[in-house]
């Protein structure tokens, strides 16, 4: 069923039918009604490719997932992000196109995306501190927004980020207030901008109290369970082990917990832990202790918001960069305690 067939069936021209379908004013109400009803009845949907060709708009947004040889992990929040963004897209009739791009072929990939012309804009995920994509997209004049920031990039760009440094500074402060002086930081890969900012926040809190920063208390790697386990075991084995930990991901924190337990220590008494967690109501019962930054539902919210920003950029080009910073919610539960004396 295409426009031609539909219009023949109606005894009208393609032009009129198209106008009726797309809500143009110069169609009589009677005609429009008939067209709409018949289209519905005959299950007509316009061919997206033809429509795109004719209008020059793809009605689709690209999400690029970098695939690296070195660390082949996919951003674990990607699914939730897409779910949030998808709701916004659906509302505006947009679709999501995903391209997996090898780190090394990024430049060519973006050019080709632009040339292929099947997206109107792009969302950049997982920015590194010095992320080349931003300048690249800027030069290509392809509308884009970034989920996160890239500290070392000077080109202006639109983004939405969580205030990661502030969140980690507050978490560290909280532990310092409880008397902890040796606080372990189990961080993600620090060439990722969010992980870098988290460390900055941690260090800032220590600096503010004149506490020397001890590299032996900081670990940075891909955020797996085994990493959390190893890093924690390691630090706990030292002569002067940390009395508290800040763990930068839920999965990593599983390893942290296990390492603590394996050593015969008790969380929330011998060792305090602050980490992300998933379900806020759960935590409010006092069972645990999150920095509430990247829970699944907040990621969905971020996705929806960022999608709106991008659509706005597409609709009204030439706007100044749009930026937004979300504060993380910090809720403390029972797995923190004053430092043992």
Question: Which positions lie near a second copy, rule CB under 8 A?
Answer: 1, 43-50, 52-53, 58, 60, 65, 67, 72-80, 82-83, 86-87, 89-90, 95-100, 111-112, 115-118, 224-226, 229, 250-251, 254, 257-258, 261-262, 277-279, 281-282, 287-288, 296
Q: Which does 112 bind (CB under 5 to 8 A by kind): a second copy, DNA, none?
A: a second copy
Q: How far apart are CA 149 and CA 298, in angstroms?
A: 17
Q: Do residues 213 and 207 lie in contact, with contact meaning Cβ atoms separated by under 8 Å? A: yes
Q: How far apart are CA 140 and CA 109, in angstroms?
A: 12
* Tokens representing residue 207 in the block: 């600096």
Q: Which does 233 bind (CB under 5 to 8 A by kind): a second copy, DNA, none?
A: none
Examine residue 21 and tell whether it contacts DNA (CB under 7 A): yes
> Which residue, 171 or 253, has its beta carbon nearer to a second copy?
253
Q: How far apart are CA 190 and CA 167, in angstroms?
A: 16
Q: Do residues 15 and 5 lie in contact, with contact meaning Cβ atoms separated by under 8 Å? A: no
> Can you tell me whether residue 290 is helix, strand or coil?
strand
Q: Which parts of the chain are beta strand (E)?
A: 60-67, 95-102, 121-124, 144-147, 158-162, 183-187, 218-220, 244-247, 272-275, 291-292, 323-326, 329-330
* Tokens representing residue 331 in the block: 């809720």
Q: Which stretch binds DNA (CB under 7 A): 7-15, 76-84, 173-181, 318-326?
A: 7-15
Examine residue 239 and tell whether it contacts DNA (CB under 7 A): no
**Interface of this chain with DNA, residues 46 to 75, rule: CB under 7 A:** 46-47, 50-51, 53-56
Least Cα distance to 180 among 332, 330, 341 occurs for: 341
> Which residue, 57 or 269, has its beta carbon nearer to DNA?
57
Q: Which does 277 bind (CB under 5 to 8 A by kind): a second copy, DNA, none?
A: a second copy
Q: How far apart are CA 310 and CA 125, in angstroms?
A: 13
**Interface of this chain with DNA, residues 23 to 42, rule: CB under 7 A:** 25-31
> Which residue, 100 or 130, has its beta carbon nearer to a second copy?
100
* Tokens representing residue 318 in the block: 């030439």
Examine residue 118 and tell whether it contacts DNA (CB under 7 A): no
Examine residue 236 and tell whether it contacts DNA (CB under 7 A): no
Q: How far is the CB of 108 from DNA (least distance, A)?
A: 16
Whole-Å CA distances, 332 to 270, 282, 283, 284, 289: 17, 12, 8, 8, 4
CB contact set of 203 (below 8 Å; sequence gap of 6+): 213
Q: Which does 78 bind (CB under 5 to 8 A by kind): a second copy, DNA, none?
A: a second copy
Q: How far is the CB of 85 from a second copy (least distance, A)?
A: 9
Q: Do residues 98 and 118 lie in contact, with contact meaning Cβ atoms separated by under 8 Å? A: no
Examine residue 3 and tell whether it contacts DNA (CB under 7 A): yes
> Which residue, 59 or 263, has its beta carbon nearer to DNA?
59
Number of residues that bind DNA (CB under 7 A): 28
Q: Which does 178 bind (CB under 5 to 8 A by kind): DNA, a second copy, none?
A: none
Q: Which residues bind DNA (CB under 7 A)?
A: 2-4, 11-16, 18-19, 21-22, 25-31, 46-47, 50-51, 53-56
């Amino acid at each position: 069923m295409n426009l031609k067939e539909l219009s023949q069936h109606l005894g009208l021209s393609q032009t009129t039918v198209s106008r009726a379908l797309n809500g143009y004013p110069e169609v009589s109400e009677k005609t429009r009604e008939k067209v709409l009803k018949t289209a519905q009845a005959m299950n007509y949907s316009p061919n997206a490719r033809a429509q795109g060709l004719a209008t020059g708009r793809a009605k689709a947004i690209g999400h690029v997932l970098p695939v690296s040889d070195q660390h082949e992990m996919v951003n674990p929040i990607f699914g939730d992000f897409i779910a949030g963004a998808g709701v916004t897209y659906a509302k505006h009739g947009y679709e999501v196109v995903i391209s997996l791009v090898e780190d090394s072929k990024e430049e060519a990939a973006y050019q080709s995306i632009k040339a292929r012309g099947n997206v109107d804009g792009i969302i950049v995920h997982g920015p590194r501190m010095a992320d080349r994509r931003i300048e690249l997209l800027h030069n290509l004049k392809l509308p884009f927004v970034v989920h996160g920031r890239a500290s070392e990039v000077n080109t202006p760009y639109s983004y939405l980020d969580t205030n990661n440094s502030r969140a980690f500074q507050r978490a560290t402060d909280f532990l310092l207030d409880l008397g902890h002086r040796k606080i372990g930081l189990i961080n993600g890969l620090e060439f990722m901008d969010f992980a870098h900012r988290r460390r900055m926040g941690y260090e800032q809190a220590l600096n503010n109290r004149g506490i020397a920063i001890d590299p032996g208390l900081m670990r940075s790697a891909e955020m797996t369970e085994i990493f959390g386990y190893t890093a924690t075991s390691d630090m706990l084995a030292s002569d002067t082990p940390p009395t508290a930990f800040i763990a930068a991901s839920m999965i990593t924190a599983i390893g942290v917990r296990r390492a603590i337990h394996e050593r015969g220590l008790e969380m929330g008494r011998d060792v305090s832990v602050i980490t992300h967690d998933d379900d806020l109501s759960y935590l409010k019962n006092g069972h645990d202790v999150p920095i509430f930054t990247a829970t699944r539902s907040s990621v969905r919210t971020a996705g929806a918001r960022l999608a709106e920003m991008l659509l706005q950029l597409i609709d009204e080009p030439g706007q100044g960069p749009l930026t937004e910073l979300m504060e993380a919610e910090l809720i403390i539960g029972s797995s923190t305690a004053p430092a043992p004396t």
